[in-house]
Structure 1
Amino acid sequence: MAAGNMYQFGQDDFFRMVEALTLRVILHDADTKSILWANHAARETLGFTLEELPALKAPDMTRNAEKYRREVGLQWLDEAARTGQSVIEWCYRAKNGNEILSEAIATRVSLETRDVLMVQFRDISAEEALKRELRRSESRLRAFMQDLAEGVIVVDRSGHVAYVSESGCRILGRVESDVLGAEFDRLCEAPLLQVLRDQVAPDVTMRGSFSMRFQVRTAMGELRWHQAVTRYVEIEDDISGYLLLFRDVTAQVGAESMEREREREIEYLARYNAMGEMAMTIAHELSQPLAATRNFIEGASMRLAKNHADPEPIRFGLEAAARQVEHASLIIKSIREYVVKLEQAEVRVDLNDIVHDSAYFISLKCEEADVKLELTLSPEPLPISCEKVLLGQVILNIAFNAIEEMAALPPERRTLRIETCVTGGTGCGGPKAMLMVHDLGRGLPQAASQRIFDGFFSGKPGGNGIGLALCKSIVSRHRGDIWAQNREPFGTSFAFSVPLCGEPAEG
């Protein structure tokens, strides 16, 4: 377009354009720095008229503070006049006294008659308040995280630490410069990056958090256990990778190790706790075949000493002795078969089968105390997952206690009944197999049902109370419950329940 046809933009056009702006504009003389004019948006904000503005000085429309004194304002405007533009944070004061924290940009503009400094300012009070709040929040967050029991660490896809919190450094036992940017696997006792990758689903919608434990060696060479809740995060272009919220659980791992050791000791005690009582019963049972064997052998020896001519009585005596020895051997074999698998793991088995295995020893104890034994077992299998010897020990312990309780009572009060059945349902955490042992004894002391499974509580003279505490420990180990209650008009019921497997049992 030819120069002659170009629209000539004059001073009046400039003023009309600035007057229409919503941005607040004040014009200063480039030389004297005095106020010449302000557009409608500036006049409305400050509350001054066009007639009032030229007479105003910096103190008249500026907050009274050291950083906003007149000399500072003049230096800012001088810089704009010299360089063409200058920016400052300035706090204007309106006619009504309201203060307006602003970002002010002074720009040198050449008009037809003079050069002016066009100052555009905008209210940044809300922005500054937000910044202050963010700074306060950041400060508080830093203070909280500094003493937080959990640490935060982000491991990027390449396996390097992209972020670590102050508390994370403290828990790791390292300074930030040692952690930030380091290969995470080098901090861990065993490589962990591949584990993180395997846990993160390719589909973003399927990603969730997961828990993990790992060991880390501190700068001092100490090995520590950490527990972390982990998820994959993508925070715009800033940080992405595996976020671990972790804490030191070394003491907890040590306590768990001690608890496992205690459980092993309890298992050992549980497996052998009733052996003393069982030995008494078995000794009584063995005394008959052993005494008979001795008599038969002594008789045969006497006949041999007298040079008895007929060998038949001698043969009979020796064969009878052999049968008695075989009978004693079968008794010992039964004991050996019951306790031979002392270290077996959990198997699926029918609870009724465990009762049948235990019934032999219970019957021997019942015969000794002249107690009648009744079995009322579920007609359907009760498949459970358990260590057969341990759960069998619970049954023996409860049954032996009941037999001892009734031993001194009248004959009509000496009946022991063992029942099994299914109990519970979907509303009770699923069906369970339940075993009950009923006696006709004197019952539990008042309010004792809440304490009988505590360690060292005993209702027997001279008893140490460890048996029922072991029973509770074993049943709890099998994810079950155990309880006791008095019967009417007399007697006690001991019971425990464990979850059904829902699969065919194997003997």
Structure 2
Amino acid sequence: MNFPAEEDFHHLLDALTLCVLLHDADTKAIVWANRAACEALGFTLEELLPLKAKDMTRPVPKYRREIGVGAMDRAITEGPQVYEWCYRSRNGADILSEAIATYVPLRERAVVMVQFRDISVEDTLKQTLRRYESRLREFMQDLSEGVAVLTPRGEVEFVSESGRRVLGLEEGAPMGDVLDYCSESDRDRLLEQLAGAPRIQPSAPQRYRITRRDGTPCWLRITCRRIEIEDDLNGRLLHFRDITDEVAVEEARRHEARLLEYAGRYNAMGEMATAIAHELSQPLAAVRNFIEGAIRRLAQPDSIDDALWGLRSADREAEHAAVIIKSVRDYIVKRESSETYADLRDIVADVAYFVELRAREAGVTVSIEQASEALPVYCERVLIGQVVLNLAFNAIEALTQCPVEGINAVTQRRELRLATSLRGKLVLAQVIDNGPGVPADAHGRLFDGFSSSKAGGNGIGLSLCKNIVTRHGGEIWAKPARQGGLQCSFTLPLVVAPRG
């Protein structure tokens, strides 16, 4: 066999930037080193040749000479060997290296070529990454959220330990198909979210009610993103968080809001009781008078027609009283949340009857200015009506506390105006009075609760108005009226009502 000459082999290795030491295959003594090895170790070739392992190796048990010799022997019998070795340079610096021992038969003699490269930076980086990983695992132990990676075919490739706890998975148990956790009604929505996962940023969060593997229900907020990291990671990255407690709190708040709104309607009816009683007294008194007249007519001969006229008149008055009572019952009756499409003008018209009753007793003139075009909104009619009533009653109360001489209007009359209009993509309702108004610094906090324009008022009604309007996606505010007094306004999103 034609083996290369040792000198030619030296010339070839000297051209490499990789450090190389040549050891005699029998004695394992150093017989040559290339320029890169000499520079790394800080020795000349002449200084290296007599050195032993103890002279150029970190003095710890795992770097004993017999271990290095064993690797070289295996290189001769079994082929190239890769092992870790820590060389020590002339100035005492440790060089942690990845060494590869390879048997090379040369023309003059057989040698073991040991190539080594400094992996100190890599080892430090690995240790740092392991430290970060340990810390991250520790930090995530108690998190109520997790991450999972899905392959392009939808299979679960990875799920974090915290995610396994969120999903109720026992140690070692497979996660299974993500769709199995959702109800049938939510599966299509989850598939749509996964299919539309963006590349740069997470998708908009979606809520899902799932059943954990241990059988308990919970709510998750899920976001996802497409990931494409060469061939190493490809698919969808899911981030999910347990929001069961948040949903429970929100539901409790909605329940409390419904109770508050219900109480608010009863409170409004209490304020209207006097005016309604007065309104009912007129048709009921007329009914009594007509019936008494009809009875007297029946006692006289040839008076059937007069008696019938009296009874028909009594019937009309009774029907009038029934309409008043029905209007009150329809408004005050407790209803569960029921949103529907409605015209804001119709809502204002529905409550205008009650506003005018209250205003009439207080000596307030009411005017209504409705928009010429439809103002479609999607809302709970009773609640939006409650807002208009609260604002109107608040204004009437303020007007009654101000003497006519103090009214800021040319007519010297107590006036209340209800107005509706269209403002771009919003519908606008306004309640405007010419009363005393409120201090300039109070407009911004009028609807924040415990602030009122009434003497002795606590502002709960106005806070309720803000709660209702905000929940419907609108805004509410107050400012001084142009002719003096107070102007309260609120907007709601304009919607396109479905046909049919």
Do the two structures share a fold, i.e. TM-score over 0.5?
yes
Counterpart residue number, 1:484: 478
1:221-260 map, 5 Å: 221-234=215-228, 236-238=230-232, 240-260=234-254
Query: 2:306 matched to 1:316?
Result: yes
Q: Aligned partner of 1:394: which letter?
A: V
Instruction: Give the Cα separation in 1 of the matches to 2:324 and 2:297.
Output: 35
Counterpart residue number, 2:21: 26
State the Cα distance separating 1:186 from its structure 2 match.
Answer: 4.8
Structure 2 regions of 5+ residues with no counterpart?
405-411
Call closer, same or farther: CA 1:401–1:324 in 2, change over 3 Å: farther
Counterpart residue number, 2:168: 173
8 Å CA contact 2:358, 2:393 repeated in 1: yes
* Number of aligned residue pairs: 490
Counterpart residue number, 1:390: 383
Counterpart residue number, 2:42: 47
* Structure 1, 463-472 or 136-145: larger mean CA deviation: 463-472
Instruction: Give the Cα separation in 2 of the matches to 1:21 and 1:68.
Output: 26
State the Cα distance separating 1:27 from its structure 2 match.
Answer: 2.1
Counterpart residue number, 2:417: 417
Query: 2:201 matched to 1:211?
Result: no
1:42-121 map, 5 Å: 42-81=37-76, 83=78, 85-121=80-116
Instruction: Give the Cα separation in 1 of the matches to 2:3 and 2:356.
Output: 121
Call closer, same or farther: CA 1:217–1:370 in 2, change over 3 Å: closer
Q: Aligned partner of 1:467: which letter?
A: G
Query: Residue deviations 1:384-416, cap 9 Å, x none?
Result: 333333322322232233223333644534222
Instruction: Give the Cα separation in 1 of the matches to 2:366 and 2:338.
Output: 30
8 Å CA contact 1:200, 1:207 repeated in 2: no
Query: 2:132 matched to 1:137?
Result: yes
1:182-197 map, 5 Å: 182-187=176-181, 195-197=189-191
Counterpart residue number, 1:399: 392
Query: % of aligned pairs identical?
Result: 49
User: Secondary structure of 1:441's partner?
Assistant: coil
8 Å CA contact 1:346, 1:387 repeated in 2: yes
User: Secondary structure of 1:384's partner?
Assistant: strand
Instruction: Give the Cα separation in 2 of the matches to 1:30 and 1:265.
Output: 92
Call closer, same or farther: CA 1:448–1:116 in 2, change over 3 Å: closer
Call closer, same or farther: CA 1:51–1:476 in 2, change over 3 Å: closer
Counterpart residue number, 1:149: 144
Q: Aligned partner of 1:229: which letter?
A: T
State the Cα distance separating 1:129 from its structure 2 match.
Answer: 2.8
Query: 2:223 matched to 1:199?
Result: no
Call closer, same or farther: CA 1:323–1:9 in 2, change over 3 Å: same
Counterpart residue number, 2:357: 364
Query: 2:277 matched to 1:287?
Result: no
Counterpart residue number, 1:444: 438
State the Cα distance separating 1:378 from its structure 2 match.
Answer: 3.8
Query: Residue deviations 1:85-129, cap 9 Å, x none?
Result: 443322223334443222222333333443322222222223323
State the Cα distance separating 1:326 from its structure 2 match.
Answer: 0.7
8 Å CA contact 2:284, 2:321 repeated in 1: no
Query: 2:323 matched to 1:329?
Result: no
Counterpart residue number, 1:493: 487
Structure 1 regions of 5+ residues with no counterpart?
426-430
State the Cα distance separating 1:321 from its structure 2 match.
Answer: 5.1
Instruction: Give the Cα separation in 1 of the matches to 2:41 and 2:457.
Output: 94
The counterpart of 1:38, out of the listed 33, 36, 40, is 33
State the Cα distance separating 1:239 from its structure 2 match.
Answer: 5.2
8 Å CA contact 1:159, 1:193 repeated in 2: no
Q: Aligned partner of 1:396: which letter?
A: L
Question: TM-score normalised to the size of structure 2?
Answer: 0.82
Instruction: Give the Cα separation in 2 of the matches to 1:197 and 1:140.
Output: 34
Q: Aligned partner of 1:336: which letter?
A: K
User: Secondary structure of 2:473's partner?
Assistant: coil
Query: 2:424 matched to 1:434?
Result: no
State the Cα distance separating 1:377 from its structure 2 match.
Answer: 3.8
Instruction: Give the Cα separation in 2 of the matches to 1:349 and 1:49.
Output: 94
8 Å CA contact 2:364, 2:416 repeated in 1: yes
Instruction: Give the Cα separation in 2 of the matches to 1:236 and 1:355.
Output: 62
Counterpart residue number, 2:268: 274
State the Cα distance separating 1:493 from its structure 2 match.
Answer: 2.7
Q: Aligned partner of 2:106: which letter?
A: L
Q: Aligned partner of 2:418: which letter?
A: I
Query: Residue deviations 1:312-340, cap 9 Å, x none?
Result: xx743652453254144235326536864
User: Secondary structure of 1:298's partner?
Assistant: helix
The counterpart of 1:298, out of the listed 280, 283, 292, is 292
Instruction: Give the Cα separation in 2 of the matches to 1:239 and 1:147.
Output: 27
8 Å CA contact 1:293, 1:322 repeated in 2: no
8 Å CA contact 1:296, 1:318 repeated in 2: no
Instruction: Give the Cα separation in 2 of the matches to 1:310 and 1:204.
Output: 90
Instruction: Give the Cα separation in 2 of the matches to 1:445 and 1:49.
Output: 92
Question: TM-score normalised to the size of structure 1?
Answer: 0.81
User: Secondary structure of 1:64's partner?
Assistant: coil
Counterpart residue number, 1:373: 366
Call closer, same or farther: CA 1:165–1:207 in 2, change over 3 Å: closer
* Structure 1, 263-272 or 95-104: larger mean CA deviation: 263-272
Counterpart residue number, 2:409: none
Counterpart residue number, 1:428: none
User: Secondary structure of 2:9's partner?
Assistant: helix
8 Å CA contact 2:13, 2:20 repeated in 1: yes
User: Secondary structure of 2:205's partner?
Assistant: strand
State the Cα distance separating 1:232 from its structure 2 match.
Answer: 4.5
State the Cα distance separating 1:167 from its structure 2 match.
Answer: 0.9
Instruction: Give the Cα separation in 2 of the matches to 1:303 and 1:221.
Output: 79
State the Cα distance separating 1:459 from its structure 2 match.
Answer: 5.9
